[in-house]
Amino acid sequence: MVFNTGAALLDAIVLAVVSKEQEGTYGYKITQDVRGVLEVSESTLYPVLRRLQKDNCLEAYDMAYAGRNRRYYKITEKGAAQLQLYKIEWKNYSSKISRMFEGGI
C-alpha cells in the first residue's frame, strides 16, 4: 500500500478482525488477517494489541494449544463501541476522498 497507515486506522482494522470471532482469536491469526488488507509486521501489530487491551477495547486470555499457551484476544463492549465509531468515521472519510478523486469537492 502506498498510503501511510495511521494508528487509528490500524486500531480500527484490528478491532474489526477480532470482532469477527465471538470467542476471540490469537495474535498470529490476527496478523495474517490484517495482512490480507495491508502489509504489517508482527512487531507493529503486537503493540497495537497491547494498547487496545490497555484501553479496555480488547481483553486477553491464555489457552493451551499444542502443549503451550496461546494468547487470545476478544473484543469488549467498549471495543465494539469504538469500532462502530471507526466505521462511521471511515465511511465519511472515504466518501469524501472518493468524491475528490472523482472530480468533486
What lies within 8 Å, CB to CB, of 5 at 6+ separation is 38, 40
Task: For residue 48, count other CB atoms closer than 10 A to its CB.
Answer: 19
> Would you mind telling me the total number of residues written for the chain in this entry?
105
Task: Give 81-96 pLDDT, tens digit per residue.
Answer: 999 999 999 999 989 9
How far is residue 98's CA from residue 105's CA, in Å, rounded to a whole number? 10
pLDDT at 39: 87
pLDDT tops 90 at residue 75: yes
Task: Report whether 48 contacts 10 (CB < 8 A).
Answer: yes
Coil, strand or helix at 75: strand
pLDDT at 90: 92
* Position 87, amino acid: K
- Cell 466518501, located at residue: 95
Summarize the confidence of residues 1-5 as an average pLDDT.
Answer: 63
Confidence category of residue 3, pLDDT binned at 50, 70, 90: low
How far is residue 15's CA from residue 51's CA, in Å, rounded to a whole number? 12
